[in-house]
């Protein structure tokens, strides 16, 4: 299964425990920067939808019993949300720079 397929299954909540464990191990050997760069390549609307879903999930989790497992899940979710927010912010910055460059090219060619 490709990384993109794994992420899609993760977002949809379709990973088995074994698949989730394997994905977690893969992610632990990658740098934070590599993960963020991969996220920036995804569909922008999907990034926003995933961010919203993670925020809703965190709200739900915060209302549950304060167990060690729930705390761990919340921390993992917060880390994922942080990566998403960085990727979204950088993607917006990159898109704005690209648009600015195109506008300058258009204005210079007139």
For 84, counting Cβ atoms within 10 Å of its Cβ (0-12 exposed, 13-18 middle, 19+ buried), the class is: buried
Segments of the chain with pLDDT less than 50: none
Identify which of 47, 25, 49, 45 has the alpha carbon closest to the alpha carbon of residue 36: 47
Q: What is the pLDDT of residue 3?
A: 66
Contact 70, 64 (CB under 8 A): yes
Q: What is the pLDDT of residue 7?
A: 67
Contact 36, 90 (CB under 8 A): yes
* Integer Cα distance of 52 and 82 in angstroms: 12
pTM score, whole prediction: 0.67
Q: What is the pLDDT of residue 1?
A: 67
């Amino acid at each position: 299964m490709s990384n993109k397929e794994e992420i899609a299954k993760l977002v949809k909540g379709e990973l088995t425990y074994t698949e989730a464990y394997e994905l977690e191990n893969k992610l632990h050997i990658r740098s934070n920067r590599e993960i963020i760069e991969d996220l920036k390549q995804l569909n922008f609307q999907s990034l926003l939808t995933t961010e919203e879903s993670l925020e809703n999930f965190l709200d739900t989790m915060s209302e549950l019993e304060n167990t060690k497992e729930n705390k761990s899940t919340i921390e993992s979710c917060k880390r994922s949300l942080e990566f998403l927010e960085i990727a979204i912010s950088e993607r917006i910055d990159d898109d704005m720079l690209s648009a600015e460059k195109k506008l300058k090219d258009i204005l210079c060619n007139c």
